[in-house]
Structure 1
Amino acid sequence: MQTKQKVVIAEDHNILRAGLRSLLEDMEEVEVTAEARDGVEAIQCVREHLPDLLLLDLSMPRLNGLSAINEIKASYPETKILVLTVHKAEDYILESFRAGADGYCLKEADRADLFGAIRNVLAGKRYLDPGIADQVLEGFIEGKQSLKQQSSWDTVTQREKEVLKLVGEGRKNKEIGDILCISVKTVEKHRANIMEKLNLHNASELTAYAIKKGLVVEE
């Protein structure tokens, strides 16, 4: 009997998470071993269950998907990560793969495409949703990808983006430090760096910028 490959689902919406679990029950070769509601829980689930695949949303509370990818790939590179998201913008796609994602699939994908994406990634192949493959290719051909023209946002580090997201959620420095396992002093330093790089001057402007960049989950 073939050993089933372990899958963890990280999705903050309860109904979507339950729907994904139900869908994956139709795949004989995989088994959902755990579920996570945010990036912090996703990292914990990977640490505990060592899954073959993490099915990961990008927009989640506390720690977002991009940050989770960085953390997980640094410690558990053998775990494959398939991003499942609504985001079609090129920035999200490029940043996901740059962080270490193995595949990128849209939530509007049908059942067959999702299963195909999972099987490709588990087989060690890269996967990019057909619905966005053309636009990404066009971006490279026309030289329009953001990587070619560095903006102030491009100078913000991944850790600084994590801090900015949490500031945008209204969290205090101590709480941010507890979530990211860093000192309050380090949080303050990151905030100062963000404000200098982005020419922002207070918490309200930081929050507005985090919302503009899609770092904060909107209810």
Structure 2
Amino acid sequence: MNAKYRVLLAEDHHLLREGLRLMFCALNEFDVIGEAKDGGEACRLAVSMIPDLIVTDLAMPGMDGIDVIAAIKRRLPHIRIIALTVHQDEEYVREALRVGADGYVLKSASVDELFAAVRAVMQGKRHLSPDVYGCLVDSFVSGRENHAPRPACDRLTARERSVLKLVAEGRTNRQVGVYLHLSPKTIEKYRASLMRKLEICNLTGLVLVAIEMGLIGDPTPAAPVHHANGEAESNGKHRDGDARLDSQISVARGG
């Protein structure tokens, strides 16, 4: 009897993670050896369990799926990894493949397509969902795949987009760090990197770019962030800053 493929699932939504586990366990060729609810746990389990295959979401708290794929492939390049995601955008696909994903499957895919992807990558092949493949082909045919530099906003990583969205919503470095499980100092480095890439020198510019990219609508005050001790961080001290920010945006728009 052939040995089963050992599978690690990384997905922050419990219901979807449970559904994936049941689907894999229903087939004799797979054995789900671990489940992770965030990126950091996925990396720890990958190192301790050494699975044959990891199926990971791209949008998770803490380390997102792109960072997870990159970290695991650097240390354990033989592990096959499939990104299972709702993101069909070209930049997400390219970033996932660039850091080492062996497959890219949309969550709208059928069960048959998911397992076709799994079996393909376990044979050493790459697999993209048909819609994703079509998107990349269209990009090439339309001439967007050329040597001209891409706009700076298209070069942002998935993590940088997450930070940009949260910062543009009016959250402090500490609040963004709590949400993404990163230190305020790390968030400050991300903000500085965003400003360099986007050639922006202030918060108002970041907000306008986030609006243009469709990451947020008109800014609203951030909700209180609840910490491990149960205390909520009040946003009252930020309300005057939010009002000034709204005024700056109105002036920048010519309003």
TM-score by length of 1: 0.80
3-state SS of the aligned residue for 1:93? Answer: helix
Q: 1:96 to 1:40 in 2, by over 3 A?
A: same
CA distance in 1: counterparts of 2:146 and 2:11, whole angstroms? 27
Partner of 1:7: 7
Q: 1:17 to 1:201 in 2, by over 3 A?
A: same
Q: Does the alignment pair 1:130 with 2:166?
A: no
- State the shift of 1:141 in Å: 2.0
CA distance in 2: counterparts of 1:117 and 1:174, whole angstroms? 35
CA distance in 1: counterparts of 2:147 and 2:158, whole angstroms? 15
Q: 1:155 to 1:144 in 2, by over 3 A?
A: closer
Partner of 1:45: 45
- State the shift of 1:190 in Å: 3.7
In terms of Rg, which structure is larger? Answer: 2
Matched letter for residue 90 of structure 1: E
Partner of 2:25: 25
Q: Do 1:54 and 1:82's aligned partners in 2 also have CA atoms closer than 8 Å?
A: yes
Q: 1:46 to 1:162 in 2, by over 3 A?
A: farther
CA RMSD across the alignment: 3.3
- State the shift of 1:152 in Å: 1.7
3-state SS of the aligned residue for 1:58? Answer: coil
CA distance in 1: counterparts of 2:188 and 2:105, whole angstroms? 36
Matched letter for residue 60 of structure 1: M
Number of residue pairs the alignment of both structures matches:
211
Matched letter for residue 54 of structure 1: I
Partner of 2:203: 202
- Structure 2's unaligned 5+ residue stretches are 217-255
CA distance in 1: counterparts of 2:42 and 2:168, whole angstroms? 21
Partner of 2:221: none
CA distance in 1: counterparts of 2:208 and 2:65, whole angstroms? 19
Q: 1:165 to 1:48 in 2, by over 3 A?
A: farther
Question: Could you say which structure has the greater relative contact order, defined with CA pairs below 8 angstroms and 6 or more residues apart?
Answer: 1
Q: 1:80 to 1:213 in 2, by over 3 A?
A: farther
Q: What is the correspondence of 1:69-218 to structure 2 with a 5 Å cutoff? A: 69-145=69-145, 148-154=148-154, 156=156, 164=164, 170=171, 172=174, 175=177, 179=181, 184=185, 187-198=187-198, 199=200, 201-202=202-203, 205=206, 209=210, 212-213=214-215
Q: Do 2:167 and 2:176's aligned partners in 1 also have CA atoms closer than 8 Å?
A: no
Identity of aligned residues (%): 38
Q: 1:164 to 1:62 in 2, by over 3 A?
A: farther
CA distance in 2: counterparts of 1:43 and 1:147, whole angstroms? 35
Q: Do 1:7 and 1:32's aligned partners in 2 also have CA atoms closer than 8 Å?
A: yes
TM-score by length of 2: 0.70
CA distance in 2: counterparts of 1:50 and 1:188, whole angstroms? 34
Matched letter for residue 109 of structure 2: A
- State the shift of 1:205 in Å: 4.3
Q: Do 1:200 and 1:206's aligned partners in 2 also have CA atoms closer than 8 Å?
A: no
Q: Do 1:167 and 1:203's aligned partners in 2 also have CA atoms closer than 8 Å?
A: no
- Structure 1's unaligned 5+ residue stretches are 215-219
